[in-house]
Amino acid sequence: MNIDYSKVNKITINKSLKLDCGSVLEKFDVAYETYGQLDDSKSNAILVFHALSGDQFVTGTNKVTGKNGWWNSVVGPNLSIDTNKYYVICANVLGGCMGSTGPKEINPKTNEPYGLTFPVITIRDMVSAQVHLLDFLGIKKTLSVLGGSMGGMQALQFCSLFPNRTFSAVPIACAASHSAQNIAFNELARQAIMADPNWDSGNYFLNGKTPRNGLAVARMAGHISYLSEQGLQNKFGRRLQEGEGLNFSFDADFQVESYLKYQGYAFVDRFDANSYLYITRAMDYFDLYKLNNGDLSKAFKDTKVKFCIISFSTDWLYPTEESKKIVIALNSIGAQVSFVNIITNNGHDSFLVEEPEFFQTLKGFLDSTYEDFKNENSR
């Protein structure tokens, strides 16, 4: 599949960005999309952070892949994040592969793609890069920053680093640090990519090959972790692909096998394998507890941000307990925090699928917060 990246909007930030690893990017690109109109008082901007496999094409049609935006169920006219009302911004993360500076892009110093010479980045680096986009768009303070999974981690990190740049935040299905299980799943994905001979120590772009099999297996492992046991059982059970009985072979007999293969190989066409290594690493390094000497509440000291934390009952990747820890930390310092745990069978994927209680919670919070923010701005 030939992918045309010429339709990607991007800005080049001609300022150096000092990364957590110590390296410095002399300049960098931020690829982004916006939806809706910024209102006169600039009170309606919402910065959405995407998750591991997402990109800046939140809703509508992805201009590069031609597929639906990844949050079509949530962002759009009259939806929970109503684009008739709000100005929605989403940037491709640093280290990503949809136009922002990352391992796939050309290193200006060598005129070759970075590959594994790209520095290891962190969630903090991603967020620091995106603040420059807000500056470019002339937005001093967003109505809200929000996202699910790694997007939620970025929202937490944003509020910790730039408490005065947002009025509210909605971290969804996330945690303030990666657990051993989270790291283990990511390591499985990385090892799958690196075990593919086509990966060629990260230099596959030099010979025009891609580590398709490795990346597909990495994505399959991810997909298992995104669904709950019950959700997977309800969706596929032991149903067979052909319906005629077992084939006594290693082809895909079961529907669940065929689903995983489809998801795995569909991903390969749109995602860069090295990017997957870098982004999963950034997630693993995320630890707001450690950054604050074990006291998470210090990450948000004196915060004025209104938080709405949302978790899903069958999310075993970022369990409800992890969200509750964030709630307790915020509550202990008197922050304005709300919390809802949505009861569902859809596991971690819940924030991406049809989940009416989640939609309603998000909409109620954003709409009432918008009224408060407008009042604050008109004072």
Binding residues (CB under 8 A) for another protein: these are 306, 308, 327-328, 331-332, 334, 336-343, 357, 360-361, 364-365, 367-369, 371-372
Indicate if 178 belongs to the active site.
Answer: no
The residue (of 308 and 352) whose beta carbon lies closer to another protein is: 308
Minimum distance of another protein from residue 304's CB (angstroms): 12
The residue (of 251 and 371) whose beta carbon lies closer to another protein is: 371
Indicate if 315 belongs to the active site.
Answer: yes
CB 218 within 8 A of CB 190: yes
Residues 6+ apart with CB under 8 A from 197: 211
The residue (of 65 and 73) whose beta carbon lies closer to another protein is: 73
> What SS3 state is found at 216?
helix
The residue (of 126 and 329) whose beta carbon lies closer to another protein is: 329
Indicate if 177 belongs to the active site.
Answer: no
The residue (of 156 and 283) whose beta carbon lies closer to another protein is: 156
> Which one from 149, 168, 225, 275 is the annotated catalytic residue?
149
> Which one from 315, 323, 349, 350 is the annotated catalytic residue?
315
Minimum distance of another protein from residue 159's CB (angstroms): 15
Minimum distance of another protein from residue 303's CB (angstroms): 12
Minimum distance of another protein from residue 365's CB (angstroms): 5
Beta-strand relationship, 81-82 and 75-76: parallel
Long-range contacts of 277-281, Cβ-Cβ distance < 8 Å, separation of 24 or more: 277/103, 277/190, 277/193, 277/194, 277/202, 278/95, 278/102, 278/103, 278/118, 278/120, 278/121, 279/52, 279/93, 279/95, 279/96, 279/150, 280/52, 280/186, 280/189, 280/190, 281/120, 281/121, 281/186, 281/190
CB 205 within 8 A of CB 115: yes
Minimum distance of another protein from residue 121's CB (angstroms): 34
The residue (of 1 and 343) whose beta carbon lies closer to another protein is: 343
Phi, psi dihedral angles at 61 (to 5 degrees): -105, 130
**CA–CA dist 344, 247 (Å, integer):** 35
**CA–CA dist 49, 265 (Å, integer):** 25
Neighbours of 331 (CB within 10 A): 15
**CA–CA dist 288, 153 (Å, integer):** 9
> Which one from 311, 348, 349, 350 is the annotated catalytic residue?
348
What's the gap between Cα 33 and its chain centre? 15
Using CB atoms within 10 Å of the CB of residue 379, give its burial: 0 to 12 exposed, 13 to 18 middle, 19+ buried.
exposed
> Which residues on neighbouring strands pair with residue 87, listed in sequence order?
45
Residues 6+ apart with CB under 8 A from 373: 43, 143, 167, 168
Minimum distance of another protein from residue 308's CB (angstroms): 7
Minimum distance of another protein from residue 67's CB (angstroms): 32
The residue (of 287 and 357) whose beta carbon lies closer to another protein is: 357
Would you name the residues annotated as active-site residues? Answer: 149, 315, 348
